[in-house]
Amino acid sequence: MSTDRDVTRIVRSWLEEGATALPDRVLDEVLDRVPATPQRRAWWPARRLPYMNNALKMAIAAAAVVVVAVAGFSLVPRDSVGGPTPTPTSSPTVISSVPLNVKMQPGRYMTDGTDEPVLPAGIQFTVPDGWHNAGWAIEKADVQVSFWAIGNTYRDPCKSVSTALVPPLGPTVGEFVSALQAQAGTKVDSTTPVTVGGHSGQLVELDWPAGIDVSKCEAGDLRLWIAPGSGDPSRGGGVGRHSTLWIVDVDGRREVIEVTSVPGSITEAKRSEARSIVESITFAAQASPAP
């Protein structure tokens, strides 16, 4: 009978055997493919948009965020938006298949959640004329709408390397709202009960931290939350933005719709258009997890 120490010693010795060097041909293949492999940027609309080329945006589209367009403004708190809507007569277009920076055909679209960061799947919405897929969101002019799954948040958006919550954020709407309210520098202006697509939640009006030199932040920018996915992709941005969040519980899943813009850019027309998109949202039923 071997002792545990014997087994550990034998296993460690056995693990020392075997290949260690990566063949040059494998490394060469990797380096040959790098120029044709666009990098995924951080989810940071404030600086990303002017700097990114089409190839990078295509990569982000493949990465998949979905998005609807609306307006980044202070939506007047509502009792309810969305709700049951007629079943579409044709299948919605999967948003990740929509080319970037090309005007979208008005119609029904759907998130597919097939890539990282892990995005909510099965959200359907109607896009009016004049919007395009920006990869991380759909946008019109300087207004963007995006859908999110939330994996965790930070205590301080400027200290995103060192202040991710431990233990991580819980799964409920209330826990996310409370975490935002406790976040250093983030100002939650209001929280209001709301329903989207027939599912209840909270409407949150949120001002990003202001008066900060983001170049001195740990990641060189502000980060509000972390989406699931490799590398902990996070929602980044600059100072002075305003976001409206619909945080809803969809059969036990926390889904977040964000509308954001630079303050002062919103017009009543955009407000109305944004509201029409949010009102069009329905959530497809998800399969129950296996026991």
Partner 1 sequence: MDTDLVVRAQHGDEEAFASLAVAAGDRLHAVAHRILRDTDLAEDATQQALLTVWRDLPQLRDPARFDAWSYRLLVRACYAEGRRTRRWAPNLRLLPADEPTAADGSSTVVDRDQLERGFRRLSIDHRAVVVLHHYLDMPLDEVAETLGVPVGTARSRLHHAMRGLRAALEADARPSSREAVP
Least Å distance, CB 42 to partner 1, is: 6
Determine if 76 is a binding residue for partner 1 (CB under 8 A): no
Determine if 171 is a binding residue for partner 1 (CB under 8 A): no
Least Å distance, CB 153 to partner 1, is: 13
92, 113, 233, 237: which one contacts partner 1 (CB under 8 A)? Answer: 233
Least Å distance, CB 221 to partner 1, is: 10
11, 76, 184, 284: which one contacts partner 1 (CB under 8 A)? Answer: 11
- Beta pairing partners, 107: 127
Determine if 58 is a binding residue for partner 1 (CB under 8 A): no
- Count interface residues toward partner 1 (CB under 8 A): 47
Nearer to partner 1 by Cβ, of 28 and 189: the residue is: 28
Determine if 30 is a binding residue for partner 1 (CB under 8 A): yes
DSSP per-residue codes, the chain: ---HHHHHHHHHHHHHSS--SPPHHHHHHHHHHGGGSPPPPPB-HHHHHHH--HHHHHHHHHHT--------S-PPP-S------PPPSSPPEEGGGSPBTSBPPSEEEE----STTT----EEEEE-TT-EE-SSSEEETTEEEEEE---EEBS-TT-TTT-B-SSPP-SSHHHHHHHHHHSTT-EEEEEEEEEETTEEEEEEEEEPP-S--GGGSTTSSEEEEE-SSTT--EEEE-TT-EEEEEEEEETTEEEEEEEEE-TT---HHHHHHHHHHHHT-EEPPPPPPP-
Nearer to partner 1 by Cβ, of 72 and 117: the residue is: 117
Least Å distance, CB 217 to partner 1, is: 11
153-181: burial string, b at 16+ Cβ within 10 Å, e else:
bbebbbbbeebbbeeebeeebeebbbbbe
110 near 122, Cβ under 8 Å? yes
Q: Measure the CA–CA gap between 63 and 274, rounded to whole angstroms.
A: 24
Determine if 215 is a binding residue for partner 1 (CB under 8 A): no
83, 107, 170, 231: which one contacts partner 1 (CB under 8 A)? Answer: 231
87, 90, 215, 230: which one contacts partner 1 (CB under 8 A)? Answer: 230
Nearer to partner 1 by Cβ, of 20 and 87: the residue is: 20
Tokens found for residue 18: 């075997």
Determine if 14 is a binding residue for partner 1 (CB under 8 A): yes
Determine if 55 is a binding residue for partner 1 (CB under 8 A): no
Nearer to partner 1 by Cβ, of 166 and 287: the residue is: 166
Q: Measure the CA–CA gap between 131 and 259, rounded to whole angstroms.
A: 14
Nearer to partner 1 by Cβ, of 31 and 285: the residue is: 31
Least Å distance, CB 220 to partner 1, is: 10
Least Å distance, CB 149 to partner 1, is: 15
Nearer to partner 1 by Cβ, of 10 and 184: the residue is: 10
5, 19, 89, 289: which one contacts partner 1 (CB under 8 A)? Answer: 19
- For binding to partner 1 (CB under 8 A), which residues are involved? 1-2, 4, 7-23, 26-27, 29-31, 33-35, 37-42, 59, 116, 160-161, 218-219, 223, 229-234
